[in-house]
Chain A
Amino acid sequence: MTALPLLSVSRLCVHFPVRAGIMLRQTGAVRAVDGVSLEIAPGETLGLVGESGCGKTTLGKAVVRLLKPTSGSIRFDTTDITLANQRTLRPLRRNFQMIFQDPAESLDPRMSVRSIIEEPFIIHGIGSRAERVRRVDALLDRVGLPSSAAERYSFEFSGGQRQRIGIARSLALKPKLIVCDEPVSALDVSIQSQILNLLVELQKDFGLSYLFIAHDLSVVKHVSDRVAVMYLGKIVEVATAEAIYRDPRHAYTKALLSAIPSTDPAARRAKILLEGDVPSPIDPPAGSAFGHRIHHPRYGETIGMDLALTEIEAGHFVAADPCCITEDDWRKVRPVPHA
């Protein structure tokens, strides 16, 4: 029996309506997240990778209920928060926070750093004024900013320092889970490592869980315990960080990994070059989305097939999709045909 997950998401769908015409009637839906199941244990980091438009940010926002799911369920600890309304969510929100990609856009330029970090305390009615001052100073110190930063405004800081302010705000209420949405992709290389180190240290100190969303696979490998690979609204492979990089099973994971430029010029690897782009989530292919992109000869078989994640080795899950896994693996995961 494994420990109870902190977050468990089951068959989650987030669809956005597409409207057209004078009456703005709904003509279709963007299936940004389409049947995703995942779990995050206390103290664990789940990395989420995929290309732009695959739905990873939407998934991140949905699990902290910044978006309303279309169907499926989200359970945090023991509480089902799938359809919780704002009032019931508010006391729960202190447990799950989010760090955004662009710290310049997610910090109010008209608020001093102190009011930005203090705001969560005020909203949740925590502490007296003097107490809050003390807490903000402690938080600034914890993320490596001088206490003089408190009286300044976010635009006075560099990108890396702004991201530290965002992290301090997310830590204010001692959350259990932080969704990090591309927290370092807007930063310079030498600043990236400072922020990554900070996130790793904070996790150790506070026992945090992270859902770490990024498109940089080396960064995700570095911070994650397990990694989920997302393609067009669906998770196609999940395994420990070590296993997914050593032994990727899904064709898309393999292509993604081979596309990472290596910093060793002697080891220029043969690339798996994919044709074309990620298909549109407005009108996704009926069968295997990735099989469709690579024009796989068995694509036809996958129409109407259940391509659910299946455990292929202990803790290593891959979509049961004949287009995207080897013949051997397909024999292992193939659904047993009816007699």
Chain B
Amino acid sequence: MNGVPEYILKVDKLITSFETDRGLLRAVDQVSFTVTEGKTVGIVGESGCGKSVTAMSIIRLLPQPAGRILGGHVYFKGRDLLRATDSEIRKVRGGDIGVIFQEPMSALNPVHRIGRQISEVFRLHKKISKSDAWDAATEMLKLVRIPAPEKRMMDYPHHLSGGMRQRIVIALALACRPSLVIADEPTTALDVTVQAQILDLMERLQSEMKMSIILITHDLGVIAETCDEVVVMYAGRVVERASAEELFAHPLHAYTRGLLHSIPTLETPSKSILRTIPGMVASLADHTPGCRFCQRMGRSSAGSRERPGFAEVSPGHWVETCPECYKP
């Protein structure tokens, strides 16, 4: 790498596997995508498609000892995080890359006060005094718009509602003013009105702090509302990648189309029969090289024998070119 990197993050042919009783499961199978500075990239897919594992591989937070990164590169600001030492990655994690987890109750320590948990981030990353860290933490609570922040600093997580807890987790992730935030299903556990609050907050903080976001979700609505670019994953692989406008207007891969058509919207006629994707999400255990979506559809055509290519079919629009699932 020379000069200024084009992207803040570039994931290149990432492979992550898990060691299980049934052998090695390839949860992430040569995933590549990029994140441009100041933009939001959404990773969407159903449970088990590898979206969270992709995110956790970037910051090397895989469950140990089962999870292993077997190949690829993750360039963050030009430096390969997969080759960084443990102490280097610890500085990046929570420092220049913030993480927002899905379940705020399990991301927070139940036996420590909110104030202590946020100041800890400053103490670890900035080497400042206890009282300065406390003041900085109070500032963070103001930033995420928590009413009466001085009072809340003394609360324990169980004192707060789900929405408030998620704000605390956001405050933790943003404490060191990261340039990239990884948000893993940040609103899935929340009610719709609270979800709208949190998404609005993240959007405002993003423009205030000029950060990039990787947003992982299964909710296509959330993607459409917040993302600039979208990566669609199925069974460990990226099947389609495009700008949000392009993807929702012209979905090309059969899986993306199936997903978009199977959710009822307010415009769908009542009690009409919805389009469905037959079968179930592929199991990662029966690993075959061919197109994974063809397997689900029960096709035994050419696409199922060898792995389809991944090509840019129009500017910025990439799709897995299985002859059955993508028909130009």
Contact = CB atoms under 8 A, between A and B. Distances in A.
Contacts of A201: 273
Main secondary structure of the interface of A (DSSP, over half): helix
Given A51-B192, A190-B46, A200 B271 contact: yes
A160 B227 CA distance: 29
Contacts of B200: 271, 273
Contacts of A189: 46, 218, 220, 259, 262-263
B131 interface: no
A190 B259 contact: yes
A197 interface: yes
Nearest to A258: B196
Interface in B114-168: 161-164
Interface string B195-210: 1110110000000000
A241 interface: yes
B326 to A, nearest CB: 18
Interface stretch (A8-16, A25-33, A214-222): A214-222
A268 interface: yes
B262 A277 contact: no
A258 B193 CA distance: 9
Contacts of A128: none
Contacts of B248: 263-265
B109 interface: no
A303 to B, nearest CB: 24
B199 to A, nearest CB: 8
Nearest to B46: A188
Nearest to B245: A265
B265 interface: yes
A218 B274 CA distance: 13
A192 B263 contact: yes
Contacts of A51: 191-194
Nearest to B160: A277
A189 B47 CA distance: 9
B298 interface: no
Contacts of A193: 262-264, 274-277
A251 to B, nearest CB: 12
B263 A218 contact: yes
Contacts of A261: 195, 199, 219, 221-222, 224-225
Contacts of A188: 46-47, 218, 281
Interface in B273-304: 273-277, 280-281
Contact of B270 (A215, A241, A265): A241
A282 interface: no
A189 B276 CA distance: 9
Nearest to B261: A193
A242 B265 contact: no
Contact of A190 (B193, B194, B272, B276): B276
Interface residues of A, number: 46
Nearest to A196: B274
Contact of B193 (A192, A241, A255, A268): A255
A274 to B, nearest CB: 5
Nearest to B264: A222
Interface string A226-267: 000000000000000110010000000001101111111110
Given A189-B46, A190-B258, A196-B264, A260 B221 contact: yes
Given A218-B264, A256-B192, A274-B197, A262 B225 contact: yes
Given A189-B46, A192-B262, A222-B271, A259 B281 contact: no
A67 interface: no
A52 interface: yes
Contacts of A217: 192, 266
Contacts of A255: 193
B293 to A, nearest CB: 11
Contacts of B46: 188-190
A177 to B, nearest CB: 17
Contacts of A147: none
A52 B191 contact: yes
Contacts of B275: 193
Contacts of A223: 270-271
Given A189-B218, A263-B260, A273 B197 contact: yes
A4 interface: no
- Report, nearest first, the 8 A-B pairs whose CB atoms are least far apart: A261-B221, A222-B264, A193-B262, A51-B191, A193-B274, A259-B196, A190-B277, A188-B46
24 contacts: A51-B192, A51-B193, A52-B191, A188-B46, A189-B259, A189-B262, A190-B46, A192-B262, A193-B263, A193-B274, A193-B276, A193-B277, A200-B273, A221-B270, A222-B274, A259-B192, A259-B193, A259-B195, A260-B221, A261-B195, A263-B224, A263-B248, A265-B225, A271-B196
Interface of A: 51-52, 158, 160-161, 188-194, 196-197, 200-201, 203, 215, 217-219, 221-225, 241-242, 245, 255-256, 258-266, 268, 271, 273-274, 277-278
Given A190-B262, A255-B193, 17 more contacts: A51-B193, A189-B262, A190-B258, A191-B280, A193-B262, A193-B275, A197-B273, A217-B192, A259-B195, A260-B266, A261-B199, A261-B222, A263-B248, A271-B196, A271-B200, A274-B196, A277-B163
